[in-house]
Structure 1
């Protein structure tokens, strides 16, 4: 496929884009150039809010993968919160607008399980996809609103818009994530993150949908039944 990856030079993009580029023609749009360019990837520096630029880069593209997010610097400050909302809401809206203008009919949005309030117990599971998101913190709320942008785009333009609720994705050499036991339990390797996006690229003709993505194959903290059923995806790297 021909893919436009928006935000492909960020943390997740740094280990997902090289994998996608093995099987697809990948074009990346980011505010900054890559720290280490992946072989065969066509990089472009620019603003995702530029509808004309996104439309131009979306020419003959089969899917747009949106993985842009705000900075981790000064996490939670008013300016940082504003940046996250700007990317996940207005930025996503404008990028989708440009892509649809160019004829793109399929979008994959890297959302987050942070759309839910974090369970208070180490063993209390996250809700499954049938439960409406309820996060109130700036990051979770921004991701929630990003999903609503996708839902609206699917209804308004008749496109496919798949939201993958990622869980602590990390490069393979850093997996499983260090830290609290539950974060380690649900962290997702780079390989499994990339294969989840790959699976979503092939899910077409079903409009809007959301999927929990995690390395928790046991389902102790998170149910992956929907991803298994609809996407044919399950983590290979499990804790």
Structure 2
């Protein structure tokens, strides 16, 4: 498939793109140059708010993969919060406007389980102390429960999902939102950190496989899916992704 991937030079995009490029012809739009260009990928530097540019790059592509997000630097500052919200709402809206103008009717959005507040019943233990049982980790609600995050990052992601839903209603697009959990590159897998981070982390290979599965699902409008390496489903249900996308983690967390 020929894809336009927006935001592929960021942290998550950089680790996932090599996997996607093995199966697809990819055109990238990002504000920055790639740190390690992937062979065969066509890179373009530009602003996702530029509707004309997006429309030109989306011409002839079969799907848009939206991976853009705000910066990590200054996390929690008003400027960083503003940047994340700007990408997720006006940035996403402009990008989808350009994509629809080019005839693209399919979108995969890399959202986050951060659209929910910290899992009910959970508390994050010290990094060197694994949880004695599943309850200590807490559990996320399934996809039927509306997002409720109030922090700037979770809010930005849930508003991005709302823009995707709008595109499905207004523009007749298929818009699939993948709620990712701590995407982790091959060099850092299995992920280190707290018990909670280790439990829900997802390998870059599995993130790419989830995107592939979402690219193949068409004709169903807007939908959301929980994506995690938690194959034992200690913290969330992956039943919907298994049932509708045919996806399950191949690199399960310990």
Q: Which residue of 2 aligns with 1:112?
A: 112
Q: Which runs of 5+ in 2 are unaligned?
A: 124-135
Q: Which residue of 2 aligns with 1:195?
A: 209
Kindly indicate whether the alpha-carbon contact (under 8 Å) linking 1:56 and 1:102 is maintained by their aligned counterparts in 2: yes
Mapping of 1:128-167 within 5 angstroms? 128-167=142-181
Kindly indicate whether the alpha-carbon contact (under 8 Å) linking 1:115 and 1:135 is maintained by their aligned counterparts in 2: yes
What is the rounded CA distance, in whole Å, between the counterparts of 2:57 and 2:18 in structure 1?
19
Q: Which residue of 2 aligns with 1:227?
A: 241
Q: CA deviation at 1:172?
A: 1.6
Q: Which residue of 1 aligns with 2:128?
A: none
What is the rounded CA distance, in whole Å, between the counterparts of 2:137 and 2:73 in structure 1?
30
The one of 194, 198, 205 equivalent to 1:180 is 194
Deviations 1:129-155 (A, max 9, x none): 011100000000000000000001001
What is the rounded CA distance, in whole Å, between the counterparts of 2:189 and 2:18 in structure 1?
18
Deviations 1:134-191 (A, max 9, x none): 0000000000000000001001111100000000001022123221101110000011
SS in 2 for 1:86: helix
SS in 1 for 2:29: strand
What is the rounded CA distance, in whole Å, between the counterparts of 1:176 and 1:110 in structure 2?
21
Mapping of 1:1-239 within 5 angstroms? 1-119=1-119, 120-121=122-123, 122-239=136-253
Q: TM-score, normalised by structure 2?
A: 0.93
Deviations 1:21-59 (A, max 9, x none): 111110000001100100100000000000000000000
**Deviates further, 44-53 or 114-123:** 114-123
Deviations 1:93-116 (A, max 9, x none): 100010001000100000000000
What is the rounded CA distance, in whole Å, between the counterparts of 1:29 and 1:156 in structure 2?
24
Q: CA deviation at 1:90?
A: 0.8
SS in 1 for 2:137: coil
What is the rounded CA distance, in whole Å, between the counterparts of 1:172 and 1:18 in structure 2?
11
Kindly indicate whether the alpha-carbon contact (under 8 Å) linking 1:175 and 1:187 is maintained by their aligned counterparts in 2: no
- Structure index of larger Rg: 2
